[in-house]
Amino acid sequence: MDRPAPFKINGDVIAPGTRRTVDIPVSTLSNHTPVNLSVHVIHGKRPGPVLFVSAAIHGDEVIGVEIMRRLLRATPLKSVAGTLLAVPIVNTFGFLNHSRYLPDRRDLNRCFPGLSGGSMASQLAHIFMTEVVQRADFGIDLHSAAIHRTNLPQIRLTPGNARLADLGQAFGAPVMMESRLREGSLRMAAEEAGVDVLLYEGGEGLRFDEFAARAGLNGILRVMHQLKMIGAKGVPRTRGVPVRASQSSWYRAPRGGLFRGYVAVGDAVQPGTVLGAIANAFGDVESEVVSDMGGIVIGRTNMPVVYEGDALFHVAETSRGEAAAEDISAHLDAAPLFDEDEII
């Protein structure tokens, strides 16, 4: 088999069979501190696809950073075919500030593909596109819910993309949902550049969540195995059947007040299921939030103090709610420990 050519990035040359962290200059902070886009490159001895994995495009979505830390230590990555470009923290500014946004208050995931002479967000988007995305054949972008919200681990798919549907199935998250591409998102810019991207959602902003960390790590390893980048050894088998959903609804607060949730992410609901209730502080006024559909709770707020109109529950519509909930609990029960020191 032919040995692959060295991988070139940012003027660095990475030999086949080696790995290195490359710091790509982005900007300088007002106090003279340099800001880099740091990319860990694992360039395999054997030829294969180039896969990028990115996290913290939203700076407070730290679960993806933890997934990446585990991924880079994972044993199957000791022998890789092709090249992995791992970017644990895309939005360094937001990560340092525990914020979803950039210091200029822009959302990086609405600024793709970016411009070299644009706003700070636009410049960062441009560097990420040209140095990482456009060098890859395929990508996985890791996200979580915003702060005070949690998401059931789920894959978001571009509608009508059969290759992504296959790789999403291989990822093996409990839920797969089609969601349209948003203008300015990494997913849309990458698709336009011919690079398919799977989006993983799991857990809560600024929090670690063991189930979401394991589901994300296991999913990336399964996709790498499906792409023949790594062997089967050390890659956990898929548990349960991913629940496919093409529609979902948000249930919003009918009034402001104190919110109690009665269902958790992964629970099955039926038309008429009471999802939660909102009361005033005196306890003499109470409103229930009732599901009008059958499905699975894929996201909810963790904030007990709500305004009228706040999003409380995200429910994916599926006709096989109870069976799907059993599949999801199979994921939970069976999530194997990756290695002993990962127990939290």
Q: Smallest gap, in angstroms, from Cβ of residue 155 to Zn ion? A: 14
Q: Which residues bind Zn ion (CB under 5 A)?
A: 58, 61, 143
Rounded to an integer, what distance in angstroms lies between the CA atom of residue 127 and that of residue 108? Answer: 12
Q: Smallest gap, in angstroms, from Cβ of residue 41 to Zn ion? A: 24
The residue of the chain with the least Cβ separation from Zn ion equals 143
CA dihedral in degrees (85, 112, 150, 146; nearest 10)? Answer: 120
Q: Smallest gap, in angstroms, from Cβ of residue 89 to Zn ion? A: 13
Token pair, residue 228, equals: 């023949």
Q: Smallest gap, in angstroms, from Cβ of residue 77 to Zn ion? A: 25
Q: Which residue, 64 or 236, is less far from Zn ion as judged by CB?
A: 64
The residue type at 170 = A
Peptide bond into 113 cis (omega under 30): yes
The residue type at 93 = F
Q: Which residue, 51 or 90, is less far from Zn ion as judged by CB?
A: 90
Q: Buried (b) or exposed (e) across 268-303, using 16+ Cβ within 10 A?
A: bbeeebebbbbeeeeeeeeeebebebbbbbbbbbee
Rounded to an integer, what distance in angstroms lies between the CA atom of residue 19 and that of residue 21? Answer: 7
The sign of the CA dihedral 41, 42, 43, 48 is: negative
End-to-end CA distance of the chain: 43
The candidate with the shortest Cα–Cα distance to 196, out of 50, 85, 87, is: 50
Q: Smallest gap, in angstroms, from Cβ of residue 61 to Zn ion? A: 5
Q: Smallest gap, in angstroms, from Cβ of residue 329 to Zn ion? A: 26
Q: Smallest gap, in angstroms, from Cβ of residue 285 to Zn ion? A: 35
Q: Which residue, 43 or 58, is less far from Zn ion as judged by CB?
A: 58
Q: Which residue, 111 or 324, is less far from Zn ion as judged by CB?
A: 111
Q: How far is CA 204 from CA 50, 127, 323, 326, in A?
A: 29, 27, 25, 23
Q: Smallest gap, in angstroms, from Cβ of residue 202 to Zn ion? A: 11
Q: Which residue, 61 or 196, is less far from Zn ion as judged by CB?
A: 61
Q: Which residue, 59 or 276, is less far from Zn ion as judged by CB?
A: 59
Q: Are 200 and 219 in contact (CB under 8 A)?
A: yes
Q: Which residue, 110 or 260, is less far from Zn ion as judged by CB?
A: 110
Rounded to an integer, what distance in angstroms lies between the CA atom of residue 159 and that of residue 154? Answer: 15
Q: Which residue, 58 or 149, is less far from Zn ion as judged by CB?
A: 58
